[in-house]
Amino acid sequence: MSQDRRRILVVEDELVINDSVTRRLVAEGYDVLQAWDGPGAVATCATSAPDLVVLDVMLPGFDGLEVCRRIQVDRPVPVLMLTARDDEVDLLAGLAVGADDYLTKPFGMRELVARVAALLRRVDRAGELAARPAAVLTVGDLSLETGTRLVRLAGQPVHLTPTEFDLLACLAGAPGHVLTREQLLADVWDWPAASGTRTVDSHVKSLRAKVGAGRVRTVHGVGYALEDG
């Protein structure tokens, strides 16, 4: 494998979908590995250290949620989850175990490629920020260290996924000010506004469960603002 090409693991038990996604990602210039069940996905992650995982929720062996939980323990890796159900409970469950994004089946290959590219750009951007002098963002008793990506609430550490941290940091950069869903999509996910805004809403719900429901204020029809609690 070329050392400068990104390595992506595709985990999908439906062979036609797995092969179709793999062929498209190879055509886009990625090195692609394949797995078809939960144990195989975890084993491949451990031996091959992919840069990103495209992960179906429903898998033999154990499901994608368990795969995501296990692979995030040793080495954080961005995960794009594929789900056959557009159910918010399922989506929040995926976010809770460390998924960064999700696509609902059936999906278009152009959309999948765009999501993969956006996730990898965010990884690069996070690395660039980590190399800069550390800054601390403080809003009330909530603090974020940009260098270490450490979050504390009333002095206690709070575990956030990379996407949750980026979302919170974006809101904390303008405390009390309302950021539209379109702004958040562009700044956090690096997506155009036309991609839709439900992803923002789902991540905000997951973030609220960790930092307090009242801390992220909803402005209906507009967006969200971070308050000092």
Q: Residue 3 has what pLDDT? A: 43
pTM: 0.77
Per-domain boundaries in the chain = 7-127, 133-226
pLDDT of residue 193: 57
Pick the CATH number of 133-226 from 1.10.10.10, 1.10.287.1080, 3.60.21.10, 3.40.50.300: 1.10.10.10
Residue 73, pLDDT score: 83
pLDDT value of position 126? 67
pLDDT of residue 1: 42
Residue 187's pLDDT is what?
A: 86
The 3 state secondary structure assigned to the chain is CCCCCCEEEEECCCHHHHHHHHHHHHHCCCEEEEECCHHHHHHHHHHHCCCEEEEECCCCCCCHHHHHHHHHHHCCCCEEEEECCCCHHHHHHHHHCCCCEEEECCCCHHHHHHHHHHHHHHHHHHHHHHHCCCCEEEECCEEEECCCCEEEECCEEECCCHHHHHHHHHHHCCCCCCEEHHHHHHHHHCCCHHHCCHHHHHHHHHHHHHHCCCCEEEECCCEEEECCC
Residue 2's pLDDT is 42
Superfamily of domain 7-127: Response regulator (3.40.50.2300)
The reported pLDDT for the residue numbered 130 is 57
Q: Which residues of the chain have pLDDT under 70?
A: 1-4, 86-91, 126-134, 192-197, 229
pLDDT at 47: 95
